[in-house]
Amino acid sequence: MKKLDPKAPVTNQTLLEAVDTVISAMDDMIGSTKNELKKDIKHLDTKIDNVKKELKREIRDLKTDTPTQKEFNQLKAKVYRHHPTA
Q: What is the pLDDT of residue 6?
A: 80
Q: What is the pLDDT of residue 63?
A: 83
Q: What is the pLDDT of residue 66?
A: 82
Cα–Cα distance for residue pair 69/71, rounded to 1 Å: 5
With a threshold of 0.85, does the pTM exceed it?
A: no
Secondary structure class of 4 (helix, strand, coil): coil
Domain ranges of the chain: 12-82
Q: What is the pLDDT of residue 84?
A: 80
Walking along the chain (86 residues) 10 residues at a time, the average pLDDT comes out as 75 90 95 95 97 94 86 91 78
